[in-house]
Amino acid sequence: EAGVAQSPRYKIIEKRQSVAFWCNPISGHATLYWYQQILGQGPKLLIQFQNNGVVDDSQLPKDRFSAERLKGVDSTLKIQPAKLEDSAVYLCASSPRGANTEAFFGQGTRLTVV
């Protein structure tokens, strides 16, 4: 079974620039998560989708972060403009619909803002 795919793996940008991350969840998984993991901390949920609808985005800094999941499959997370404190690993995860089960994580995108 193919896992969660993310790209790019690494990205370095200057502050105030824009960046976008892409995620392709496991086939058939209705729930998709974007997490931000700052070095030395646990993953922090940014946004959760059920199919193409948003379940929770209470911790998403909406003034600069946006995410979409058109057609309920792939998802993109965008930061515009980036700040130094956005440097982190951005993890995408997915899980089956209606099941309180594990989240399967992608390899993540390591973002460095300089």
Partner 1 sequence: GENVEQHPSTLSVQEGDSAVIKCTYSDSASNYFPWYKQELGKRPQLIIDIRSNVGEKKDQRIAVTLNKTAKHFSLHITETQPEDSAVYFCAASMVTGGSYIPTFGRGTSLIVHP
Q: What is the rounded distance in angstroms from the CA atom of residue 23 to the CA atom of residue 6?
A: 5
Rule CB under 8 A: choose which of 21, 33, 34, 90 binds partner 1: 33
Q: What is the rounded distance in angstroms from the CA atom of residue 2 to the CA atom of residue 16?
A: 35
In single-letter form, the type of residue at position 109 comes to T
Coil, helix or strand at residue 99: coil
Coil, helix or strand at residue 62: coil
Shortest distance, CB of residue 100 to partner 1, whole angstroms?
4
Give residues 83-102 in contact with partner 1 (rule: CB under 8 A).
91, 95, 98-102
Binding map of partner 1 across residues 40-79, x = CB under 8 A, - = no contact: xxxxxx--x-x----xx-x---------------------
Question: Considering beta carbons, is residue 48 or 113 the nearer one to partner 1?
Answer: 48
Question: Considering beta carbons, is residue 2 or 42 the nearer one to partner 1?
Answer: 42
CA 92 to chain CA centroid, Å, is 4
* Residue 105 near partner 1 by CB under 8 A: yes
Q: Any bridge partners for residue 56, and if so which?
A: 48
Q: What is the rounded distance in angstroms from the CA atom of residue 11 to the CA atom of residue 20?
A: 10
Chain residues binding partner 1 by CB under 8 A are 31, 33, 35, 40-45, 48, 50, 55-56, 58, 91, 95, 98-103, 105-108
